[in-house]
Structure 1
Amino acid sequence: MANRKEVQRAGILEVARLAGVSRQTVTRAMNDMPGISVETKRRVLEAAEELRYRPSRFGRELVQQSTQSLGLIVSDLANPYFSELASEVAKVAAANGWALVVVEKRPGPESGRAELRSLAGQVDAIIAYLDLAPHDIDGIFGNLPLVLLDTSEQTLDALSPSRPRGAVSIDLAPGLTDAVDHLLALGRKRIALVDIMYSTDESVRCGIFRELIRERGQEPTVIKVEVAEDDLHVGRRAVEVAFSAPEPPDAIIAFNDMSAFGVLKELRVRGLSVPETCCVIGIDGLKIGLFVDPELTTLRLDFAAFAQLAFDEAVQLSTTNVSSPLPQSRKRVFHELVVRQSG
């Protein structure tokens, strides 16, 4: 069989660059939708012909069903945190007449790039959890409106100011303050935080926790656990480490609810009572926390409000002229301490 040079088909972003318009304008022109001038439509169609661009059938079907479509990027839909968030985003998108496309982007800067580029050519805006470097974010998504969830300030500061970008971050400080003060009021003397070790420095929650504990006259205890196959195993390993110490903790704030479930499991296996021997507090407020024994005390995130705020940001960005985008928007949400049986 003769060797043939593989030719990569041009995408919607290439057409948009050649025509000097947004990808949304390309979508309108290719689907004969209102809202663009005759001259702009001609320029788009000529660019598409020059690049031999052919819209995907999937993309055309999305446009026919809804004039606008939203992408959601999460790392693992099997994790209840992301599935609860996706459910709320789906509800708010449907209520506003937007189609929703959900993509999993597994952890690791090199994973899932092809899927992300494909998504960028199919939707009008994206809400995303991403672990990419700023230049990769701008390179993959270009002028597509993008709302980043719970990302670092360093990443936001490094993004191109000419791109339509927004962010909704989770401020852990108020919730952790309530959790620490609650445990101190219960008379707990040795409060520990479970922190997952990544290749970067310690987590934001770890820094907040250390400061809170020291401000209250105690020495912070942080149980650092390497990334395991899942967060349940992180919690179980944290208990193994904590209770091998000369003075084990009498309260544990887990990295999240899933790791808190692992903490509860391992404490029970060891015959240690909760909350009598050790209080346990999770972070996230997953619905399943009501169905473990004892019911989990947690810092609850309002997923519905989180999703609505992110969606509103995406809509605002998508209605902004890409030649003069809004100043980068940064919104915050907070946790609420919900006291149940575990602490």
Structure 2
Amino acid sequence: MEKQGAAKRVGIVEVAEIAGVSRQTVTRAMNDMPGISAETKKRVLEAAERLRYRPSRFGRELVQQSTRSLGLVVSDLANPYFSEFASEVAKVAIANQWTLVVMEKHPGPESGKEELRALAGQVDAAIAYADLPPKDIDSVFGSLPLVLLDTAERTLDALSPSYPRSALTIDLAPGLAQAIDHLVARGRSRISLVDITYPKGESVRSRVYTALMRDRGLDPHVVTVASMDDDLSVGRCAAEIALNAPAPPDAVIAFNDLSALGVLKELRDRGVSVPETCAVVGIDGLKIGVFVEPELTTLRLDFAAFAQMAFDSVVQMSNAPASGPLLQIRKYAAHELVVRKSA
């Protein structure tokens, strides 16, 4: 709730609307950068003066360091998945002389929309895990070139074609198929999946896993746990549920590596040997997986390649001619099975 009497600060979005230009053009005009005509610059400066727009010191510092700035939106930097991915994006951005601004947006369609709008007004493009409805994605990011990560196909199809958008999605099927086939080849038949439900709804993992198991004549068994403060607790809870079932699993594929570590902890506390009695497979390929005992078998995502794919899409959209068709790019990445001692 806004404080009584508090005036809303005019931002780059309002200047862009009045001047009839993009936010990137406002940034260039306000910071005396090349790439726009004198007439356009004059129109932007007049609009800024009329609105009494004052660029933030933060925004000016970004522009002074680099001709372009990139926003990265993740869910939780305390989660190694997002911190490892952010580290790779930073490497790519620095190598290409872009400034990186990182923001956390916690899960939930109503979370962080105003903060996202503020970020969108400060950067030239963005890469985002954004679990927002299509109308909110369009209203928050507007004409900003945007790469959406792990977004449902139905969301992408509903986005406005008037804005530059790209989607980078992880195709779960190849990696999960590798994991299931690896476990079956080693005599496992009761393979359970740990699934986490978030506010955005059912996990794609559950649907893909169920289809793959049935294709192989195996009964799927999904242990669903609501999102908790940490995925380690999710893994422990899921393992407890699975082990108390009439037919406990002889293998568990966890939602991610962190929940897999929780599964390992619960199994160890119960005296269940891994992998002899129950094999464990994670998903993500986090570095921490080699520092546990037994070392974690996992479906590894190549974070460096994933970050490069996302950045390449940013560059493609940012460099597209203003008069040409808007780019709508879709790319896919996949996991690779890395076999270690836990399976």
Please state which band the TM-score falls in when normalised by the shorter chain: over 0.9
Deviation of the 1:197 alpha carbon: 2.3
Deviation of the 1:107 alpha carbon: 1.2
Quick check: 2:294–2:341 contact (8 Å CA) kept in 1?
A: yes
Deviation of the 1:228 alpha carbon: 1.5
In structure 2, how many angstroms separate the alpha carbons of the residues matched to 1:63 and 1:150?
29
Quick check: 2:108–2:200 contact (8 Å CA) kept in 1?
A: no
Q: Secondary structure of 1:326's partner?
A: coil
> What residue in structure 2 maps to residue 92 of structure 1?
92
How well do the aligned residues superpose, as a CA RMSD in angstroms? 1.3
Report the more deviating stretch, 239-248 or 190-199.
Answer: 190-199
In structure 2, how many angstroms separate the alpha carbons of the residues matched to 1:325 and 1:259?
43
Distance 1:64 1:201, change over 3 A: closer
Deviations 1:248-286 (A, max 9, x none): 000000000000000000000000000000000000000
Q: Secondary structure of 2:335's partner?
A: strand
Q: Secondary structure of 1:337's partner?
A: strand
Deviation of the 1:200 alpha carbon: 5.2
In structure 2, how many angstroms separate the alpha carbons of the residues matched to 1:161 and 1:205?
29
Report the more deviating stretch, 270-279 or 23-32.
Answer: 23-32
Report the more deviating stretch, 275-284 or 33-42.
Answer: 33-42
Quick check: 2:28–2:36 contact (8 Å CA) kept in 1?
A: yes
Show structure 1 runs of 5+ residues with no match: none
Deviations 1:69-107 (A, max 9, x none): 111000100000000000000000000001100001111
> What residue in structure 2 maps to residue 17 of structure 1?
17
Deviation of the 1:186 alpha carbon: 0.3
Deviation of the 1:210 alpha carbon: 0.7
> What residue in structure 1 maps to residue 46 of structure 2?
46
Quick check: 2:107–2:199 contact (8 Å CA) kept in 1?
A: no
> What residue in structure 2 maps to residue 197 of structure 1?
197
Letter in 2 for 1:58: F
Deviation of the 1:7 alpha carbon: 2.3
> What residue in structure 2 maps to residue 297 of structure 1?
297
In structure 2, how many angstroms separate the alpha carbons of the residues matched to 1:97 and 1:340?
38
Distance 1:322 1:134, change over 3 A: farther
Deviation of the 1:5 alpha carbon: 3.7
In structure 2, how many angstroms separate the alpha carbons of the residues matched to 1:319 and 1:118?
23
1:58-207 correspondence runs (5 A): 58-199=58-199, 201-207=201-207
Quick check: 1:188–1:251 contact (8 Å CA) kept in 2?
A: yes
> What residue in structure 2 maps to residue 232 of structure 1?
232
> What residue in structure 1 maps to residue 216 of structure 2?
216
Quick check: 1:164–1:325 contact (8 Å CA) kept in 2?
A: no
Letter in 1 for 2:236: R
Note if 1:314 corresponds to 2:318: no
In structure 2, how many angstroms separate the alpha carbons of the residues matched to 1:83 and 1:294?
24
Deviation of the 1:294 alpha carbon: 0.2
Q: Secondary structure of 1:8's partner?
A: coil
Deviations 1:119-170 (A, max 9, x none): 1111110001011111111101110110001111011111111101101110
The normalised TM-score by structure 2 is 0.97
Deviations 1:224-252 (A, max 9, x none): 11112210001000111001111100000
In structure 2, how many angstroms separate the alpha carbons of the residues matched to 1:48 and 1:314?
27
Q: Secondary structure of 2:7's partner?
A: coil
Q: How many residues align?
A: 341
Q: Secondary structure of 1:114's partner?
A: helix
> What residue in structure 2 maps to residue 6 of structure 1?
6
In structure 1, how many angstroms separate the alpha carbons of the residues matched to 2:5 and 2:219?
64
In structure 2, how many angstroms separate the alpha carbons of the residues matched to 1:8 and 1:35?
30
In structure 2, how many angstroms separate the alpha carbons of the residues matched to 1:327 and 1:35?
20
The normalised TM-score by structure 1 is 0.97
Report the more deviating stretch, 34-43 or 105-114.
Answer: 105-114
In structure 1, how many angstroms separate the alpha carbons of the residues matched to 2:198 and 2:120?
28
Letter in 1 for 2:226: E
Deviation of the 1:50 alpha carbon: 1.4
> What residue in structure 2 maps to residue 331 of structure 1?
331
In structure 1, how many angstroms separate the alpha carbons of the residues matched to 2:5 and 2:213?
63
Note if 1:27 corresponds to 2:27: yes
Deviation of the 1:185 alpha carbon: 0.2
In structure 1, how many angstroms separate the alpha carbons of the residues matched to 2:327 and 2:195?
34
Note if 1:341 corresponds to 2:341: yes
Quick check: 2:93–2:99 contact (8 Å CA) kept in 1?
A: yes
Deviation of the 1:115 alpha carbon: 1.6
Distance 1:8 1:324, change over 3 A: farther
In structure 2, how many angstroms separate the alpha carbons of the residues matched to 1:41 and 1:283?
50
Distance 1:4 1:255, change over 3 A: closer
In structure 2, how many angstroms separate the alpha carbons of the residues matched to 1:34 and 1:218?
62
In structure 2, how many angstroms separate the alpha carbons of the residues matched to 1:199 and 1:98?
33
Percent of paired sites with the same residue: 72
In structure 1, how many angstroms separate the alpha carbons of the residues matched to 2:243 and 2:5?
61
